[in-house]
Protein backbone atom coordinates (compact mmCIF):
# COMPACT_ATOMS: atom_id res chain seq x y z
CA UNK A 1 0.00 0.00 0.00
CA UNK A 2 1.22 3.54 -0.72
CA UNK A 3 2.31 5.49 2.34
CA UNK A 4 2.04 9.01 0.90
CA UNK A 5 -0.64 11.26 2.40
CA UNK A 6 0.07 14.65 0.82
CA UNK A 7 -2.86 14.89 -1.65
CA UNK A 8 -6.31 15.40 -0.13
CA UNK A 9 -8.32 14.17 -3.14
CA UNK A 10 -7.05 11.00 -4.86
CA UNK A 11 -8.17 12.36 -8.25
CA UNK A 12 -5.78 15.29 -7.83
CA UNK A 13 -2.86 12.86 -7.73
CA UNK A 14 -3.00 12.55 -11.52
CA UNK A 15 -1.43 15.57 -13.22
CA UNK A 16 -1.91 15.66 -16.97
CA UNK A 17 1.01 17.15 -18.92
CA UNK A 18 -0.71 19.55 -21.28
CA UNK A 19 2.09 19.32 -23.86
CA UNK A 20 0.30 20.50 -26.99
CA UNK A 21 1.26 23.08 -29.64
CA UNK A 22 -0.85 26.03 -28.57
CA UNK A 23 -3.51 27.34 -26.20
CA UNK A 24 -6.34 26.47 -28.57
CA UNK A 25 -5.26 22.83 -28.64
CA UNK A 26 -4.86 22.93 -24.85
CA UNK A 27 -8.41 24.16 -24.31
CA UNK A 28 -9.74 21.57 -26.72
CA UNK A 29 -7.89 18.78 -24.88
CA UNK A 30 -9.05 20.00 -21.47
CA UNK A 31 -12.65 20.11 -22.67
CA UNK A 32 -12.33 16.58 -24.05
CA UNK A 33 -10.91 15.28 -20.77
CA UNK A 34 -13.63 16.96 -18.71
CA UNK A 35 -13.77 15.80 -15.10
CA UNK A 36 -11.40 12.90 -15.79
CA UNK A 37 -8.54 15.32 -15.05
CA UNK A 38 -8.49 17.88 -12.24
CA UNK A 39 -4.82 18.94 -12.37
CA UNK A 40 -2.83 20.20 -15.36
CA UNK A 41 0.88 20.74 -15.95
CA UNK A 42 1.39 23.72 -18.23
CA UNK A 43 4.97 23.99 -19.45
CA UNK A 44 7.46 25.67 -21.72
CA UNK A 45 5.90 24.71 -25.05
CA UNK A 46 2.72 26.59 -24.22
CA UNK A 47 4.69 29.48 -22.75
CA UNK A 48 6.52 29.87 -26.08
CA UNK A 49 3.29 29.51 -28.06
CA UNK A 50 1.66 32.56 -26.43
CA UNK A 51 -1.43 33.05 -24.31
CA UNK A 52 0.08 31.15 -21.39
CA UNK A 53 -1.49 33.03 -18.52
CA UNK A 54 -4.80 33.40 -20.30
CA UNK A 55 -4.83 29.60 -20.50
CA UNK A 56 -3.87 29.29 -16.84
CA UNK A 57 -6.72 31.64 -15.87
CA UNK A 58 -9.11 29.66 -18.10
CA UNK A 59 -8.19 26.43 -16.33
CA UNK A 60 -8.47 28.00 -12.88
CA UNK A 61 -11.90 29.41 -13.75
CA UNK A 62 -12.98 25.82 -14.40
CA UNK A 63 -11.82 24.73 -10.94
CA UNK A 64 -8.73 22.98 -12.27
CA UNK A 65 -5.41 23.01 -10.45
CA UNK A 66 -2.34 24.21 -12.32
CA UNK A 67 1.29 23.16 -12.17
CA UNK A 68 3.46 25.81 -13.85
CA UNK A 69 6.35 23.68 -15.05
CA UNK A 70 8.69 26.47 -16.15
CA UNK A 71 11.88 25.22 -14.47
CA UNK A 72 13.02 28.72 -13.56
CA UNK A 73 16.80 29.11 -13.50
CA UNK A 74 18.36 32.56 -13.17
CA UNK A 75 20.06 34.74 -10.59
CA UNK A 76 18.28 34.44 -7.23
CA UNK A 77 16.78 37.93 -7.28
CA UNK A 78 15.17 37.34 -10.69
CA UNK A 79 13.79 33.95 -9.67
CA UNK A 80 12.46 35.48 -6.46
CA UNK A 81 10.53 38.16 -8.35
CA UNK A 82 9.18 35.67 -10.88
CA UNK A 83 7.98 33.33 -8.12
CA UNK A 84 6.31 36.17 -6.24
CA UNK A 85 4.36 37.04 -9.39
CA UNK A 86 3.37 33.41 -10.03
CA UNK A 87 2.21 33.13 -6.42
CA UNK A 88 -0.45 35.79 -7.08
CA UNK A 89 -2.10 33.78 -9.84
CA UNK A 90 -3.65 30.88 -7.90
CA UNK A 91 -1.21 28.30 -9.28
CA UNK A 92 -0.56 25.24 -7.08
CA UNK A 93 2.98 24.15 -8.08
CA UNK A 94 5.91 25.77 -9.86
CA UNK A 95 9.28 24.26 -10.73
CA UNK A 96 12.77 25.67 -10.38
CA UNK A 97 16.29 24.55 -11.21
CA UNK A 98 19.44 25.77 -9.58
CA UNK A 99 21.75 25.93 -6.63
CA UNK A 100 21.06 26.61 -2.96
CA UNK A 101 20.78 30.37 -3.43
CA UNK A 102 18.17 30.03 -6.16
CA UNK A 103 16.14 27.51 -4.17
CA UNK A 104 16.25 29.66 -1.03
CA UNK A 105 15.19 32.77 -2.95
CA UNK A 106 12.25 30.93 -4.50
CA UNK A 107 11.17 29.47 -1.16
CA UNK A 108 11.28 32.88 0.51
CA UNK A 109 9.00 34.41 -2.14
CA UNK A 110 6.51 31.58 -2.64
CA UNK A 111 3.59 32.56 -0.41
CA UNK A 112 0.95 29.82 -0.85
CA UNK A 113 2.59 28.55 -4.03
CA UNK A 114 4.41 25.23 -3.59
CA UNK A 115 7.93 25.17 -4.99
CA UNK A 116 9.24 21.97 -6.56
CA UNK A 117 12.95 21.63 -7.24
CA UNK A 118 13.93 19.55 -10.25
CA UNK A 119 16.37 16.78 -9.31
CA UNK A 120 17.40 14.93 -12.50
CA UNK A 121 15.27 15.06 -15.64
CA UNK A 122 13.70 11.71 -16.50
CA UNK A 123 15.06 12.05 -20.04
CA UNK A 124 18.63 11.71 -18.65
CA UNK A 125 20.51 8.53 -17.81
CA UNK A 126 24.00 7.78 -16.47
CA UNK A 127 25.62 8.45 -19.83
CA UNK A 128 23.95 11.84 -20.12
CA UNK A 129 25.11 12.83 -16.64
CA UNK A 130 28.68 11.91 -17.56
CA UNK A 131 28.41 14.16 -20.61
CA UNK A 132 27.23 16.98 -18.32
CA UNK A 133 30.21 16.51 -16.01
CA UNK A 134 28.51 14.76 -13.07
CA UNK A 135 30.68 11.97 -11.67
CA UNK A 136 28.20 10.56 -9.13
CA UNK A 137 25.45 8.11 -10.07
CA UNK A 138 21.88 9.21 -10.72
CA UNK A 139 20.51 8.13 -7.35
CA UNK A 140 23.22 9.94 -5.39
CA UNK A 141 22.62 13.15 -7.34
CA UNK A 142 18.83 12.94 -6.85
CA UNK A 143 19.20 12.39 -3.10
CA UNK A 144 21.68 15.25 -2.78
CA UNK A 145 19.41 17.68 -4.61
CA UNK A 146 16.34 16.52 -2.65
CA UNK A 147 18.09 17.09 0.69
CA UNK A 148 19.23 20.54 -0.41
CA UNK A 149 15.74 21.43 -1.59
CA UNK A 150 14.25 20.56 1.79
CA UNK A 151 16.97 22.53 3.59
CA UNK A 152 16.30 25.52 1.34
CA UNK A 153 12.59 25.59 2.20
CA UNK A 154 11.20 24.10 -1.00
CA UNK A 155 8.00 22.09 -0.68
CA UNK A 156 9.05 19.19 -2.81
CA UNK A 157 10.91 17.82 -5.78
CA UNK A 158 10.31 16.41 -9.21
CA UNK A 159 11.98 13.00 -9.33
CA UNK A 160 11.86 9.77 -11.30
CA UNK A 161 10.09 6.82 -9.74
CA UNK A 162 13.30 4.83 -9.97
CA UNK A 163 14.80 6.90 -7.15
CA UNK A 164 11.67 6.98 -4.98
CA UNK A 165 12.47 4.08 -2.61
CA UNK A 166 15.88 5.50 -1.71
CA UNK A 167 14.45 8.99 -1.36
CA UNK A 168 11.69 7.93 1.01
CA UNK A 169 14.20 6.03 3.13
CA UNK A 170 16.62 8.95 3.30
CA UNK A 171 14.52 12.14 3.13
CA UNK A 172 11.94 13.60 5.50
CA UNK A 173 8.38 12.56 4.63
CA UNK A 174 7.31 16.20 4.53
CA UNK A 175 8.88 16.53 1.08
CA UNK A 176 6.33 16.35 -1.74
CA UNK A 177 7.41 14.13 -4.61
CA UNK A 178 5.97 14.62 -8.08
CA UNK A 179 6.97 11.83 -10.45
CA UNK A 180 6.96 12.21 -14.25
CA UNK A 181 7.89 9.55 -16.77
CA UNK A 182 4.84 7.43 -15.95
CA UNK A 183 4.07 4.77 -18.51
CA UNK A 184 0.96 2.65 -17.82
CA UNK A 185 2.04 0.47 -20.75
CA UNK A 186 5.37 -0.53 -22.29
CA UNK A 187 7.58 2.39 -23.30
CA UNK A 188 7.77 3.07 -27.04
CA UNK A 189 11.18 2.92 -28.78
CA UNK A 190 10.79 6.56 -29.87
CA UNK A 191 10.04 7.80 -26.35
CA UNK A 192 12.64 10.26 -24.99
CA UNK A 193 11.82 9.34 -21.39
CA UNK A 194 14.49 6.86 -20.24
CA UNK A 195 13.78 6.44 -16.51
CA UNK A 196 10.11 5.45 -16.34
CA UNK A 197 7.80 3.52 -14.00
CA UNK A 198 4.17 2.41 -13.88
CA UNK A 199 1.38 4.09 -11.92
CA UNK A 200 1.34 1.35 -9.29
CA UNK A 201 5.11 1.35 -8.90
CA UNK A 202 5.31 5.12 -8.49
CA UNK A 203 2.69 5.33 -5.75
CA UNK A 204 3.81 2.13 -4.09
CA UNK A 205 7.31 3.58 -3.76
CA UNK A 206 6.14 6.90 -2.31
CA UNK A 207 5.11 9.39 -5.01
CA UNK A 208 2.53 11.97 -3.98
CA UNK A 209 1.57 12.93 -7.53
CA UNK A 210 2.28 11.50 -10.96
CA UNK A 211 2.62 13.39 -14.25
CA UNK A 212 1.23 11.62 -17.30
CA UNK A 213 1.36 13.07 -20.79
CA UNK A 214 1.64 10.99 -23.93
CA UNK A 215 -0.18 7.87 -22.65
CA UNK A 216 -3.28 10.06 -22.31
CA UNK A 217 -2.72 12.64 -25.05
CA UNK A 218 -1.86 10.09 -27.75
CA UNK A 219 -4.50 7.52 -26.80
CA UNK A 220 -7.35 6.85 -29.23
CA UNK A 221 -9.69 7.93 -26.44
CA UNK A 222 -7.81 10.32 -24.14
CA UNK A 223 -10.63 10.66 -21.62
CA UNK A 224 -10.96 6.88 -21.29
CA UNK A 225 -7.19 6.61 -20.82
CA UNK A 226 -7.29 9.23 -18.06
CA UNK A 227 -10.23 7.52 -16.36
CA UNK A 228 -8.40 4.20 -16.44
CA UNK A 229 -5.50 5.78 -14.57
CA UNK A 230 -7.92 7.41 -12.13
CA UNK A 231 -9.47 4.00 -11.44
CA UNK A 232 -6.04 2.60 -10.69
CA UNK A 233 -5.36 5.48 -8.30
CA UNK A 234 -8.74 5.03 -6.62
CA UNK A 235 -7.84 1.41 -5.96
CA UNK A 236 -4.54 2.44 -4.40
CA UNK A 237 -6.08 5.20 -2.24
CA UNK A 238 -9.55 4.03 -1.24
CA UNK A 239 -11.64 6.71 0.44
The pLDDT of residue 170: 84
Give this prediction's pTM. 0.88
Q: Is 190 a residue whose pLDDT tops 60?
A: no
For the chain, which domains are there?
A: 10-236 (3.20.20.70)
Confidence of residue 181 (pLDDT cuts 50, 70, 90): confident
The pLDDT of residue 166: 86
pLDDT per position as a tens digit, 82-112? 999 999 999 999 999 888 999 999 999 999 9
Q: Is 189 a residue whose pLDDT tops 70?
A: no
Closest-CA residue to 64 (of 24, 100, 127, 14): 14
Q: Is 131 a residue whose pLDDT tops 60?
A: no
Average pLDDT over residues 77-83: 97
| DSSP conformation letters of 26-68 | HHHHHHHHGGG--EEEEEHHHHHHS-HHHHHHHHHHTT-EEEE
The pLDDT of residue 144: 84
Residue scoring higher pLDDT (164 or 116): 116
Lowest pLDDT segment from 24-28, 104-108, 155-159, 196-200: 196-200
Residues taking part in catalysis? 71
Task: Give the whole-number percent of the chain exceeding pLDDT 90.
Answer: 66
Amino acid sequence: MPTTKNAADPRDRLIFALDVPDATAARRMAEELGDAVTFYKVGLELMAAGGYFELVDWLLARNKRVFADLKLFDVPATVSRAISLLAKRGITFATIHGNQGIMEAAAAAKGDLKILAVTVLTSLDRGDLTDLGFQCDVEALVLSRARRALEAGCDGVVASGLELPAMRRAIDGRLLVVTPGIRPVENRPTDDQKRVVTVEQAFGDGADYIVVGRPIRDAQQPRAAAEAIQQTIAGLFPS
